[in-house]
A and B are shown apart, each in its own frame.
Chain A
Amino acid sequence: MAVSRNGHLAHERPRRKQTRRGRSMPTLELAGFREGAYRLFSQALLYPADERLAALATATEELAQDDHVLAQFAFFADWRRVLARLRDVGRPRRDLEEQHVALFGASKAGTLCPPYESAFLSRSGQPDALLMAGIEAAYSEIGITPSPETGELPDHVAIELEFMAMLSGQEAAAWEADDVAGAVKAMRRAKRFLDGHLAVWLPAFARQLAVADKVGFYRSVSEGAAAFALYDRDLLAAFLDGLSRVSEAPPEDHSNGSRMTS
């Protein structure tokens, strides 16, 4: 499958699409929003280059306008705090650059907060074959692989967050196409990746950053990302649970969208 090259945080879709049966479909907006949020976190944890900071600022404003979809969730308060922090991004930029290298690059005795899953979940703290094989398999399942140009390892926090953004994007596209089975498939993949990878180590990463980050920006972003991943995991769990109850748990790859209700 092709990778989306759309530069927007969320796909351009109608706010509230009416399904054929005339029901409201908040899932589409929510998925689109989740895609944007994951991408925002992913980018915010990368090196604060000028262009990226400018894009982040714009994206933050866009997401702030769209965030009513989150209003009904407990995460909303956390989200607003993250947005407020992101609005300060780049002030002062020099501090942010220093902090990024000190936290995630080679610093004093190694990296203070290695932004890699293997640093937290493998026994050696190094890329572990079994763990990495699991990550690569998850990427491979939707036909993607880390781009050679990045020069980064597959378990880098930004890559895992981007992967979650892509899954959310797939889910949104499926909702938009009334492909409920496709949407469920994407949600299950997202839930499985959160359960097995991102939501397991991201909180620990955020805690480590909270100790080391003096400026506070990366601390806020990582705490926000970790909280978001946990909320998202719970949300997906609840949603999938609800689906399975009303649909008598259709098999993953043979679910029939026509049987689903929202």
Chain B
Amino acid sequence: MTEAGLLLHALAEKKGGGSESYGSWEDLYRGKWTWDRVVKGTCNRADCIAACSLDLFVKDGIVWREEQNAIYDQTNEAVPDFNPRGCQKGICYSDLMYDASRIKYPLRRVGERGSGKWERISWDEALTEISDKVLDVCKEDGPESIIYDFGTTNIDFGPGTPAEQQLTRLIGTTSLDEWAGVGDLPMGAIQTWGLFNADGTSDDWFNADTILVWLGNPVYTRVPDVHFMFEARYKGAEVVTIAPDYNATVVHSDLWVNPRVGTDAALALAMCNVIVEEGLQKDRYVQEQTDLPFLVREDAGRFLRQSDIAKDGKDDVFYVWDLATKSLQEAPGTMGQPDASLDLGDLDPAMEGDFEVELLDGRKVTVRPAFLALKKRLDEYTPERAAEITGVAASTIRRLARRVAESPATLIFCSWGACKHYHMDLVQRSIILLLALTGNTGKRGAGMRIGAWWNMSLSYDKAGVGALAAAGAPAERPKVRDLENLMKTLMKANSSISPTMPFLYKHDKGYAKLVDTPGYHDPDLKRPISEYMQEAFDKDWMPVYPRDGKSPRVFLYTGMNPLRRWPAPDAIRENLWANFELIVTWDFRMSSSGMYSDIILPAAGWHEKSGVKFTQSYVPYICVGEQAVEPLYESKNEFDIMAKLAATLERRAKEREEAPYKDVFGNEHDPTDIARLWSLDGEFGEGDAEKALDVQFELSDPVGDATWAEAAEKGAVRVTSTGGYGPITAITNEVEEGETLYPFAWFVRDKESWPTLTGRQQFYIDHPWFLEAGEELPTHKEAPPAGGDYPLRMTGGHTRWSIHAIWRSNRTLLRLQRGEPVMYISTQDAAARGLDDHDLALVHNDVGGFKVRVKLAPSVQPGQVVMYHAWEPYQFEQWSGQQAVNPSPLKPLHLVGDYVQLSYRFALAQPSNISRAMTVELTKVE
């Protein structure tokens, strides 16, 4: 036999020789509590809306355990501190790191997709196969037929995601914009404010006098931050939780308000009704900060525009009636005004009254402030009427409305759960209206809070970003509306980013058929859904690639689990998924989607690479994680994977003598030069992830002068700046030392125009589609029966035991639950169906079905069933999970693209994955 024969080389000589003390269990036990070193780590690529520094205890190359760090300074003496931060998930990541689901080696599918038949291949073999297919497709159909999906919240603010984006940009792939694909896009906020990623630090919650937790469950989902809410109670704040079910946050609240599922808009509008009826609104705030004084034509229901009354007038200049001069006056700061200022000066805009104006053609029309139309709308929502709709007592509605109006600062925690219902834009618009009427938006300890990020650089290209810096900082901060307009222009000019849900509609016949089902939509819509979709595509409101006549052929995805998340996965698997010729993922764990992929590359786990945690603004720190141990098995960090892939692509392109090809915008891509370009002329390659981090820190304003090395040593560095405005950083306020941070100061304190058509918080949307649907103003509509005519509404939420699917199969955390998927059902609904606790039930509707154990819960409202988030389909029989009943009917109004704030740009203004309030029925499985 050969010399290499049967040598494993798995055991090597230990430095320092052997110890002779393989002794008692006491020695071993003592050994358990010793370590070689402690590394500052974090959940490097976790899909969690928090950032926490952890101490990682490392011994013999193994991460034994994590501990929360308490390294955060108190902002000022008047607010509690952040210490410590962490949760039960983060401190058991080392479980997951060594879990059986870990992907150890590059794998290639050898059986049918999903058959579980794999062979182990070398990195070189895997990357060569991927490269060859990518090159084939680029040559034959263009690079836009290669689809890259980087997920959303799983992205790395360290070097991984920038490395991926650098390479896919050089290839020219289509990139999926998953924000709405996850169902996290607050369209109501975008329709009203023109942006949404606006929040502050969580210690600012402590400044609130009234906190409404509305469409969220922070005890489950904001574990490191929620204490600020409850600490606020000790200084007299009232915490009210508005939720159909008696959830974990209710337990810590002063008042529980439990509307029927999906009736929140009616509740908010009834509170607005009380405020207006009782004259509790803040008039000057409303005059300046909202479009409610704007004049609306009685004949057309549209705003009176300059183009209506003046030759060559603009469509984005609007009018108010000035009570001081008793004349028509242009409203300042609208999109058509050169000066982006809301300062009313001496103007005293009328909020009521009928006025007559003469149009260009000589006709005379009556115009009225939009506020009058709003009052009329609010008349439909008296507390008594709302009580019938919502089930909440009229007296409770009045009490709550007065509390909101009279409280010095009212804060509404209205998180992303608010984005997953069909009419959730109407709910958000109603809630924002409530806060605007009471002057609560743009104030310390107040406003609707959704989430925001510090703007860390997602590039390690010093020359590229540095060139911009060399041009010099502008003398004045660019206006938000100008930046938004710039983003729209860039988007149209040179970006093959595609919004996910329209992408699925266009490229998956099975899903499109579900969306087109007439009964699943708002009955106020006048046309078939397919016509709205077609119009949106024809007018390029929704830029979806590849274009007509070409199909997606290769799918590269990471940081996400599409067959767990996308709607009706059974349909998608048979259509779009089946049509992909190659599906590749790089991940550290085997997911349900991974099982249906063709090649899986093993990514290093969180503690096996250096990176930056999700830079959420709740904590005013950038939390980082330093590599604690070498990547396990044959895994590699994402930066190195991309370096190898770029090198392989270039090698194969040269071997195949590939010519340059063009993308859909006419840009030329030379695959024989791709590694040089990716590496920035050889400056970066495999093993240079920390070098990239050095540059990222240098280019990132939020960290000030701090370097990567300093951050890695400390675990976190305090932010000194928001990092400027961007799609995910719409905080629009400055970081001030010693102060908590709240959003929207630029608009409210500084009176800068909002990035909307009217330049204000816009409650009246006079787009024809909105007028046609009766949604020009906030209103309440019942959720359509998406799924068919069934009596129960299936809702959901994130749990405290997992964020998305990552920890769902973790044994440690499963022991804290029932150990398998369960659906919560009220005792009444269960009894009516003959279901006992832990019975197996078939949950079904017209779309599909899945089997699950039921958990009888008196906390759940009759008519509602709760299926908490993100069980892996493989945890169900036939791998049919909770999305199997979800048709995700796109709301056509979210397709509109010719109205300033409604126009699509990355992470903004697009239809969402609607995964809540599906109609279902449960049948006991005998």
Interface residue A242 (Cβ < 8 Å from any Cβ of B): no
Residues of chain A lying within 8 A (CB to CB) of residue B590? 106-108, 110
Complexed CA–CA distance, A98 and B73 (Å): 53
B511 to chain A, nearest CB (A): 25
When the two chains form the complex, which single residue of A2, A100, A150 contacts B120, counting CB atoms closer than 8 Å? A100
Interface residue A238 (Cβ < 8 Å from any Cβ of B): no
Interface residue B362 (Cβ < 8 Å from any Cβ of A): no
B124 to chain A, nearest CB (A): 14
Across the interface, do B28 and A152 meet the contact criterion of CB distance under 8 Å? no
Q: Which of A64-123 contact B (CB under 8 A)?
A: 94, 97-98, 100-102, 105-111, 114, 118-119
Across the interface, do B633 and A55 meet the contact criterion of CB distance under 8 Å? no
Interface residue B1 (Cβ < 8 Å from any Cβ of A): yes
> Taking A133-B31, A141-B22 as contacts, is the C-beta distance between A62 and B1 under 8 angstroms?
yes
Residues of chain A lying within 8 A (CB to CB) of residue B812? 124, 126
B4 to chain A, nearest CB (A): 6
A50 to chain B, nearest CB (A): 12
Contact-residue bracket for chain B: 35 or more
Interface residue A12 (Cβ < 8 Å from any Cβ of B): no
Closest B residue to A119 by CB, please name it: B100
Complexed CA–CA distance, A154 and B11 (Å): 9
Interface residue B403 (Cβ < 8 Å from any Cβ of A): no
Across the interface, do B116 and A107 meet the contact criterion of CB distance under 8 Å? yes
Contact-residue bracket for chain A: 35 or more
> Taking A7-B3, A111-B100, A125-B811 as contacts, is the C-beta distance between A148 and B8 under 8 angstroms?
no
When the two chains form the complex, which single residue of A134, A139, A152 contacts B14, counting CB atoms closer than 8 Å? A139
Counting chain A CB atoms within 10 Å of each CB, which of B11, B103, B117, B590 scores highest?
B11
Across the interface, do B633 and A146 meet the contact criterion of CB distance under 8 Å? no
A181 to chain B, nearest CB (A): 14
When the two chains form the complex, which single residue of A105, A130, A145 contacts B105, counting CB atoms closer than 8 Å? A105
Complexed CA–CA distance, A42 and B8 (Å): 8
> Taking A98-B110, A110-B101 as contacts, is the C-beta distance between A141 and B20 under 8 angstroms?
yes
B29 to chain A, nearest CB (A): 6
Interface residue B665 (Cβ < 8 Å from any Cβ of A): no
When the two chains form the complex, which single residue of B6, B61, B64, B118 contacts A7, counting CB atoms closer than 8 Å? B6
Interface stretch, picked from A155-163, A217-225, A228-236, is: A155-163
Across the interface, do A151 and B28 meet the contact criterion of CB distance under 8 Å? no
Bitwise, B37-72 to A at CB < 8 A (1) or not (0) is 000000000000000000000001110110000000
> Taking A140-B14, A144-B14 as contacts, is the C-beta distance between A109 and B874 under 8 angstroms?
yes
Residues of chain A lying within 8 A (CB to CB) of residue B111? 98
Complexed CA–CA distance, A97 and B118 (Å): 7
Interface residue B32 (Cβ < 8 Å from any Cβ of A): yes
Across the interface, do A98 and B119 meet the contact criterion of CB distance under 8 Å? yes
Across the interface, do A7 and B5 meet the contact criterion of CB distance under 8 Å? yes
Complexed CA–CA distance, A192 and B13 (Å): 21
Complexed CA–CA distance, A125 and B633 (Å): 19
Complexed CA–CA distance, A39 and B811 (Å): 33
A188 to chain B, nearest CB (A): 10
Interface residue A132 (Cβ < 8 Å from any Cβ of B): yes
Residues of chain A lying within 8 A (CB to CB) of residue B29? 130
Q: Which of B855-914 contact A (CB under 8 A)?
A: 872, 874-875
B321 to chain A, nearest CB (A): 67
Residues of chain B lying within 8 A (CB to CB) of residue A58? 1-2, 5
Complexed CA–CA distance, A51 and B99 (Å): 29
Across the interface, do B4 and A137 meet the contact criterion of CB distance under 8 Å? no
Residues of chain A lying within 8 A (CB to CB) of residue B326? none
> Taking A110-B100, A139-B11, A151-B632 as contacts, is the C-beta distance between A130 and B60 under 8 angstroms?
no
> Taking A101-B118, A136-B60 as contacts, is the C-beta distance between A59 and B5 under 8 angstroms?
yes
Interface residue B102 (Cβ < 8 Å from any Cβ of A): yes
Across the interface, do B118 and A105 meet the contact criterion of CB distance under 8 Å? yes
Across the interface, do B11 and A151 meet the contact criterion of CB distance under 8 Å? no
Complexed CA–CA distance, A149 and B60 (Å): 14
Complexed CA–CA distance, A62 and B2 (Å): 12
Across the interface, do B6 and A147 meet the contact criterion of CB distance under 8 Å? no
> Taking A102-B117, A127-B62 as contacts, is the C-beta distance between A147 and B10 under 8 angstroms?
yes
Across the interface, do B874 and A8 meet the contact criterion of CB distance under 8 Å? no
When the two chains form the complex, which single residue of B1, B22, B107 contacts A101, counting CB atoms closer than 8 Å? B107
Residues of chain B lying within 8 A (CB to CB) of residue A94? 110, 119
Across the interface, do B100 and A145 meet the contact criterion of CB distance under 8 Å? no
Closest A residue to B879 by CB, please name it: A108
Complexed CA–CA distance, A114 and B104 (Å): 12
Interface of B, helix, strand, loop or mixed by DSSP: loop
Closest B residue to A127 by CB, please name it: B98
Across the interface, do B13 and A143 meet the contact criterion of CB distance under 8 Å? yes
Complexed CA–CA distance, A189 and B104 (Å): 31
When the two chains form the complex, which single residue of A42, A59, A166 contacts B1, counting CB atoms closer than 8 Å? A59
Q: Which of B66-118 contact A (CB under 8 A)?
A: 94-95, 98-105, 107, 110-111, 116-118
Across the interface, do B117 and A159 meet the contact criterion of CB distance under 8 Å? no
Complexed CA–CA distance, A153 and B631 (Å): 12
Complexed CA–CA distance, A118 and B590 (Å): 20
> Taking A146-B12, A148-B630 as contacts, is the C-beta distance between A1 and B811 under 8 angstroms?
no
Complexed CA–CA distance, A125 and B98 (Å): 10
Complexed CA–CA distance, A253 and B23 (Å): 13
> Taking A94-B110, A107-B116 as contacts, is the C-beta distance between A163 and B32 under 8 angstroms?
no
Interface residue A21 (Cβ < 8 Å from any Cβ of B): no
Complexed CA–CA distance, A51 and B8 (Å): 12
Closest B residue to A115 by CB, please name it: B100
Across the interface, do A114 and B100 meet the contact criterion of CB distance under 8 Å? yes
> Taking A106-B101, A126-B95, A130-B32 as contacts, is the C-beta distance between A158 and B8 under 8 angstroms?
yes
Complexed CA–CA distance, A101 and B633 (Å): 14
Across the interface, do A126 and B101 meet the contact criterion of CB distance under 8 Å? no
Bitwise, B719-741 to A at CB < 8 A (1) or not (0) is 00000000000000000000000
Across the interface, do B95 and A46 meet the contact criterion of CB distance under 8 Å? no
Complexed CA–CA distance, A52 and B10 (Å): 14
Interface residue B312 (Cβ < 8 Å from any Cβ of A): no
Across the interface, do B95 and A124 meet the contact criterion of CB distance under 8 Å? yes
Complexed CA–CA distance, A220 and B283 (Å): 83
> Taking A108-B116, A129-B65, A146-B10 as contacts, is the C-beta distance between A51 and B4 under 8 angstroms?
yes
Interface residue B471 (Cβ < 8 Å from any Cβ of A): no
Interface residue A237 (Cβ < 8 Å from any Cβ of B): no
Interface residue A43 (Cβ < 8 Å from any Cβ of B): yes
Across the interface, do A98 and B117 meet the contact criterion of CB distance under 8 Å? yes
A109 to chain B, nearest CB (A): 5
Complexed CA–CA distance, A2 and B21 (Å): 19
Interface residue A20 (Cβ < 8 Å from any Cβ of B): no
> Taking A7-B7, A98-B118, A101-B118 as contacts, is the C-beta distance between A1 and B17 under 8 angstroms?
yes
Across the interface, do B6 and A143 meet the contact criterion of CB distance under 8 Å? no
Across the interface, do B13 and A110 meet the contact criterion of CB distance under 8 Å? no
Residues of chain B lying within 8 A (CB to CB) of residue A156? 10
Interface residue B779 (Cβ < 8 Å from any Cβ of A): no
The 5 residue pairs across chains A and B that have the minimum distance between CB atoms: A143-B18, A106-B590, A111-B100, A110-B100, A147-B12
Q: Given A7-B1, A125-B100, output 17 extra A-B contacts at Cβ < 8 Å.
A: A1-B13, A43-B8, A52-B6, A59-B5, A62-B1, A101-B118, A105-B107, A106-B100, A124-B95, A126-B99, A130-B32, A137-B31, A151-B630, A152-B10, A152-B633, A158-B10, A159-B11
27 residue pairs of the A-B complex, CB under 8 angstroms, read A7-B4, A42-B6, A43-B6, A54-B2, A55-B1, A58-B2, A59-B1, A59-B6, A98-B119, A102-B117, A106-B102, A107-B118, A109-B101, A111-B100, A118-B98, A126-B94, A126-B812, A130-B28, A136-B31, A136-B60, A137-B31, A140-B19, A146-B10, A151-B630, A152-B10, A159-B11, A162-B10
